[in-house]
Amino acid sequence: IPVTIQMLILMGQSNMVLSSNDIIKLVPSNWMVVKCAVGGTTISQWQKGEYLYENCRNIVNLNKEKYPIKAIMFMQGEGDSKNPNCDNWKNMFLTMATNFRKDVNFYGKFSVGRIGPVPVTDDTSQKYCWNKICTQQTYLKYSGFTIVSSDGLPCWNVPHWCTSAYPILAKRFVSTITI
């Protein structure tokens, strides 16, 4: 019996990049992992028509006939923590996700990583935006997305965790999909 190879799409910024190798170790060998995540990105860079979105969409569409999509995992937000338009993060994410789902014809599992606790900083605008984005990400669960918590990961170091945290984050992401 031939084994169907399925596609797992990883999108977002550095925390997804740093978790990707651990995610690959946790999923079955018949999964093709497409790593579209790029460190330091903002949600506006993931909008339709922008390079990151279009590049990921093109890779997925070139492969989806041969390798059906199993799930999408997305983690991003800290790049917008200094953005004065942070109040609009959720709407921008929903626009991106809706467009991407339509463009790759996939309406299945879409997991979203929530950025961690507010970083230690004296920048009150960054704290405000960080909280706003974190709250907006939490409310995505009411729009049909599975939220992956980053709470309690070891060695919080603005805006990343130490190396031992990434396997834990990877397990949290992989636990949201049926293997």
82-134 pLDDT, tens digit per residue, is 887 789 999 999 999 999 999 999 999 999 999 876 666 676 777 788 888 98
Q: Residue 111, Cα to own-chain centre: how many angstroms?
A: 7
Q: Looking at per-residue confidence, does 170 or 158 come out higher?
A: 170
Q: Are 105 and 64 a contacting pair, CB within 8 Å?
A: yes
Helices then strands, each counted (H, E), the chain: 5, 5
Measured between its terminal Cα atoms, the distance across the chain in Å is 18
Q: Looking at per-residue confidence, does 179 or 114 come out higher?
A: 114
Mean residue pLDDT across the chain: 88
How many residues are present in the chain? 179
Residue 13's pLDDT is 87
E strands present in 25-68: 31-35
Place of tokens 């907006």: 136
Interacting residues of 29 by C-beta distance below 8 A, sequence separation 6+: none
Residues 124, 24: Cα–Cα separation, whole Å: 37
Residue 167's pLDDT is 93
Place of tokens 């463009």: 103
10-29 mean pLDDT = 90
Residues 172, 131: Cα–Cα separation, whole Å: 21
The type of residue at 10 is L
With 60 as the cut, is the pLDDT of residue 157 above it?
no
Residue 158 pLDDT grade (very low, low, confident, very high; cuts 50, 70, 90) = low
Q: What is the value of pTM for the model shown?
A: 0.91
With 60 as the cut, is the pLDDT of residue 25 above it?
yes
Residue 178's pLDDT is 81
pLDDT digits (tens, 9 = 90+) for 45-96: 999 999 999 999 999 999 999 999 999 999 998 888 888 778 999 999 999 9
